[in-house]
């Protein structure tokens, strides 16, 4: 082989090595810069892995939306509040019943506490009759001729004739309460006219008897025929509901 040909062969070999070295350097540069190959880029796009930044951002946005849906669960809390409201309504209903019960009780108590009015001469007719015993006693009978229940005075403040004072009352005859008369009912009082042994003084006979009432009205009572004899032993009892109680004194 000639020297020229040998030189050309060596030059060609050197050129080939240089080109190969340049090619290798270019491949290594691509690997170092991280440039994706067409095949790897297609694969990432197909499987939609989170390795894609854009895809990852979309996924995060979707999850945030899901959290918003969870926030809707707060409506359950509203339902709980509604339940409490129902309980409140029940409490109001209970309070209403209590209020109705308290009102009814008060009305009933007021009715029970009502007392009958006082009798007057226009409501009551008083008659007088001599008692068979004890002697020298008069029985007064007061009958309610009105349409309403009324209460008699504690005792008859009887005035015989022109007497200026009313007779004393036998305190031992006092009942536990006032004698109350319904329409048609009667009350009774006994009157001791004079002493049985003649120990009384200033005696006189009269045919007039008046019985005043607390409202200022006066009942005029007709005495037995011939009138009655009275002296300083004159005494009356409290009005009674029973005849026997009125004549015990």
Quick: pLDDT tens for 4-44: 555 555 655 555 555 555 554 444 444 444 444 444 443 33
The runs of H, that is alpha helices, within 48-141 are: 53-72, 74-113
Residue ending a domain, choose from 97, 113, 129 = 113
How far lies 211's CA from each of 21, 152, 208, 220, in Å?
156, 11, 10, 6
**pTM of the predicted structure, to 2 decimals:** 0.55
How many CB atoms lie under 10 A from the CB of residue 153?
A: 19
Max avg pLDDT among 55-69, 90-104, 171-185: 171-185
The answer for 132, left when phi > 0, alpha when psi is -120 to 50, beta otherwise, is alpha
Flag the least confident range among 7-21, 135-149, 233-247: 7-21
Q: What is the pLDDT of residues 144-164, one digit of tens each?
A: 999 999 999 999 999 999 888
Q: Let me know if residue 142 belongs to a domain.
A: yes
Q: Let me know if residue 136 belongs to a domain.
A: yes
Residue ending a domain, choose from 113, 143, 162 = 113
Residue 97 shares a structural domain with residue 124: no
Total H helices, total E strands in the chain = 5, 12
The residue segments making up the domain with residue 103 are 73-113
Residue ending a domain, choose from 113, 140, 171 = 113
Residue 141 shares a structural domain with residue 80: no
Of residues 173 and 10, which shows the higher confidence score?
173
User: Phi, psi (5° rounding) for residue 24?
Assistant: -65, -40
Of residues 78 and 178, which shows the higher confidence score?
178
Residue 185 shares a structural domain with residue 84: no
Residue 106 shares a structural domain with residue 174: no
Cβ contact 214:152 at 8 Å: no
Residue 163 shares a structural domain with residue 216: yes
- Both structure tokens of 117: 């009015």
């Amino acid at each position: 082989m000639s020297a020229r040909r040998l030189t050309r062969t060596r030059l060609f070999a050197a050129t080939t090595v240089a080109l190969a070295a340049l090619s290798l350097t270019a491949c290594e540069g691509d690997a170092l810069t991280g440039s994706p190959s067409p095949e790897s880029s297609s694969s990432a796009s197909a499987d939609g892995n989170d390795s894609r930044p854009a895809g990852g951002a979309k996924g995060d946005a979707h999850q945030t939306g899901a959290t918003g849906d969870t926030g809707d669960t707060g409506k359950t809390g509203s339902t709980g509040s509604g339940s409490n409201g129902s309980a409140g309504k029940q409490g109001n209903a209970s309070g209403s019943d209590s209020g109705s019960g308290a009102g009814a009780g008060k009305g009933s108590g007021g009715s029970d506490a009502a007392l009958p009015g006082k009798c007057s001469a226009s409501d009551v007719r008083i008659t007088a009759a001599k008692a068979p015993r004890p002697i020298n006693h008069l029985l007064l009978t007061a009958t309610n001729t009105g349409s309403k229940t009324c209460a008699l005075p504690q005792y008859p403040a009887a005035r015989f004739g022109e007497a200026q004072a009313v007779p004393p009352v036998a305190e031992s005859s006092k009942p536990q309460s006032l004698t109350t008369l319904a329409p048609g009912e009667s009350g009774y009082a006994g009157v001791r006219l004079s002493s049985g042994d003649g120990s009384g003084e200033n005696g006189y006979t009269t045919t007039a008897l008046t019985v005043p009432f607390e409202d200022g009205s006066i009942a005029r009572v007709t005495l037995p025929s011939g009138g009655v004899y009275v002296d300083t032993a004159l005494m009356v009892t409290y009005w009674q509901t029973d005849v026997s109680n009125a004549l015990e004194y």
